[in-house]
Amino acid sequence: MNRILFSILLVFTFEACKGLIYRQEKIPGKIGNVEGIKSAKVCAYNFLFLVSAGDASITEAKRVGEIDRIRSVEIEVSSFLFIFFRRHCLILTGD
């Protein structure tokens, strides 16, 4: 009986820790049906939750890509060893 409970607990623990070693996720956010002709990708980085660098804001992406009218916003998240390295990127398309 203890082995069964331990096995169930172990499965739930591993299920909750998805992406503990490596994680890459893309979250789309389309606005309308028309694709933009310009795009920009800006990223922010985090190391050990102690040092952060970069600007992944919509304002920065609009400036970098010289975009006036936003068509879509996508977010990419990548991490390695959960707290060691994390990258958040914002991909903006528009006119």
Bridge partner list, 92:
40, 73
What does the pLDDT average to over 9-26?
63
Among positive and negative, which fits the CA dihedral 73, 88, 27, 78? positive
pTM of the model: 0.68
How does pLDDT run across 81-92, given as a tens digit for each residue? 766 888 999 998
Question: Residue 14: pLDDT above 70?
Answer: no
Q: What is the mean pLDDT of residues 1-13?
A: 67
Burial letters for 65-93: b for 16+ Cβ neighbours within 10 Å, e otherwise? bebeebbbbbebebbeeeeeebbbbbbbb
Are residues 56 and 45 in contact, defined by beta-carbon separation less than 8 angstroms?
no
The 10s digit of each residue's pLDDT in 20-46 is 666 777 777 765 555 668 889 999 999
**Distance (Å, rounded) from C-alpha 72 to C-alpha 91?**
8
Name the band, by pLDDT with cuts 50, 70 and 90, for residue 71. confident
